[in-house]
Structure 1
Amino acid sequence: MNKLLIVFTCVLFFNCNSSAQKQTKDATKVYKVTKTEAQWKSQLSEKAFYVLRQAGTERPFSSPLNKNYQSGIYICAGCKTPLFKSEHKFDSGTGWPSFDREIQGNVAFSTDYDLGYARTEEHCATCGGHLGHVFNDGPTDTTGKRHCINGVSLKFLPNN
């Protein structure tokens, strides 16, 4: 029983997240598009505000963009910056829209420790909105990257 208690305590200790572990976007960075919290709340749905402005995550398989196979471009739902092209989208099976690359210069990266380990967070380089995370388990025949993006942080513009 004592060994079980020790193991449980160690697991609990190593999985706890202190605020000292968390590193978010540079709070001093000024983005091209800046708005007050009230302005963002009036512009975005509750779910989009939670994801884009509070770094939340939508439920897997909840976004209609996950299974969108139309040709077009994915833009930031907050500021309309082009972020991803449909030709770089693939079905990762994770339940979130996934891309093997971003539009260079329009997506910024930082490190977060929200789960107790380092992950590469992606956010819009124009407004700072949280998009998702990038992982190194994408298609090996292209970039090897999987940009795992919350669909609610995107809007889709089809090609005409």
Structure 2
Amino acid sequence: MSDGGKQRAWLPPRWFVRLAWRMHRAQYRATRGRAGLWAPRAGRWGTLRLTTIGRRTGQERSVILGYFQDGPNLVTLAMNGWAAPDPAWWLNLQASPEAEVDLVDGRRSVRARAATAGAERERLWARWQELDKKLDAYAARRPGETAVVILEPTDP
């Protein structure tokens, strides 16, 4: 199957993707953060726990995301398991860009922004392509452009 000339990558059913997310979060909670997060390394992305403030509820909302480091910044994708809508955490960050991230080596305060169109976004997308060879095929499953999200440290 193709989409605009791009091969669409196979994904498991949506119910399975959502179950995997729930199990990952449950593992993190059950181990009190001792399992479920890992640092990126050569050729592999890491995972972080992002805590935002809900744009409607004002309550804290947490999600575990893949990321890589770009200097002092953390870079992730607003891809919602490659489903069509933007993920809630990205909508929350657009409403209030200040957030907290938990990494294997501790907690950081960050401010989120989308990578600007052009050279910055292209460079960061290319880095993701190095980590995930099927990135373009997955992205082709979404009707619009997938935001490349930069989490910049706010701690002094």
Q: Give the TM-score category using the shorter length.
A: under 0.3
Between structures 1 and 2, the one with greater strand share: 2
Structure of larger gyration radius: 1
Give the TM-score of the pair, scaled to structure 1.
Answer: 0.26
Q: Return the TM-score normalized by structure 2.
A: 0.27
More helix per residue: 2
